[in-house]
Every structure is written in structure tokens, then in C-alpha cells.
């Protein structure tokens, strides 16, 4: 008997509802850690192997990726307003430790994008200071 044969329509609907609720929480999350925690849904045993194929589950992970990128861009925008070299370095270091660490495992391309953008901010500030 395959997993899809064991999955009842009620179980599928219930898991879809859990995923939709989690996606709403992800979209409202104020930090990357909160977004990651909100996205953690447990696939019921009866749906093992099937739950991840549901549209709600895919939408949840798309919402998470979008929210993480929004948060990253917002954080970089705020950091870009800092005009003191020490303050900028400190803020970027804190972001890496406090926020961006959640990206390293599951979203390494987003982490790399953030670090690259942060490096550009530091370079621009150094060039501005030399003038």
C-alpha cells in the first residue's frame, strides 16, 4: 500500500490548513529566526512522503524564502544608513550572528548575497572616507 492510498482527504486538508497558517505566521515574522520557527510544520505520519508534495507545503516554503529575502534587504537598507565605519562594522557583525546564521544551512545563496552586499557597503564607506 502506497502513502497516497493511506492519506485520507481529511488528513490532507488538515495538513494544508496547518501549512497555510504557518505561511501566514512566516509572512508576519519580524526576524529570520521567527520566520524559520514559524515554518516548522510536522508532516503527519499518515502523510509521510505525500505532505511535501501538497501545494500548501510548497507555498509555505516559498513564503519563507520570500520573507527571509525581504528581511535581509530591510536589514541591509538600515545598515546602509549608518555613517560611522565602526558602527557599520558592528551592525553587520551583529546581523551575521543574530539573524543571518539561520540562512547558512538552508539558504546559503541568500547568506552569500547578504555578506556580499555587506562587503559592498563597507567598501563604499571606505572609499567615501578616503575622499
For residues 9 and 47, is the Cβ–Cβ distance under 8 A? no
Residue 35 grid coordinates: 520566520
pLDDT digits (tens, 9 = 90+) for 27-48: 999 999 999 999 999 888 888 8
Residue 42 grid coordinates: 510536522
User: Would you place residue 127 in the very low, low, confident or very high pLDDT band (cuts 50, 70, 90)?
Assistant: confident
Residue by residue, DSSP assigns 73-103 as HHHHHHHHT---HHHHHHHHHHHHHHTGGGH
List the domain range (segments joined by +) for residue 54. 3-130
First and final CA of the chain: distance in angstroms? 72
Count the domains in the chain. 1
For residues 103 and 111, is the Cβ–Cβ distance under 8 A? yes
pLDDT digits (tens, 9 = 90+) for 68-88: 999 999 999 999 999 999 999
Indicate the angle between helix axes 108-130 and 55-80, nearest 10 degrees: 10
Q: How much is the average pLDDT of 109-118?
A: 96
Amino acid at each position: 500500500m502506497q502513502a497516497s492510498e493511506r492519506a485520507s482527504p481529511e488528513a490532507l486538508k488538515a495538513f494544508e490548513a496547518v501549512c497555510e497558517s504557518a505561511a501566514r505566521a512566516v509572512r508576519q515574522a519580524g526576524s529570520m529566526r521567527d520566520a524559520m520557527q514559524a515554518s516548522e510544520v510536522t508532516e503527519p505520519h499518515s502523510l509521510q512522503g505525500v505532505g511535501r508534495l501538497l501545494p500548501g507545503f510548497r507555498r509555505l516554503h516559498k513564503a519563507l524564502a520570500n520573507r527571509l529575502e525581504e528581511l535581509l534587504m530591510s536589514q541591509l537598507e538600515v545598515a546602509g544608513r549608518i555613517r560611522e565605519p565602526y558602527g557599520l562594522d558592528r551592525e553587520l557583525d551583529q546581523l551575521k550572528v543574530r539573524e543571518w546564521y539561520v540562512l547558512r544551512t538552508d539558504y546559503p545563496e541568500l547568506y552569500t548575497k547578504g555578506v556580499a552586499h555587506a562587503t559592498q557597503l563597507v567598501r563604499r564607506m571606505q572609499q567615501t572616507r578616503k575622499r
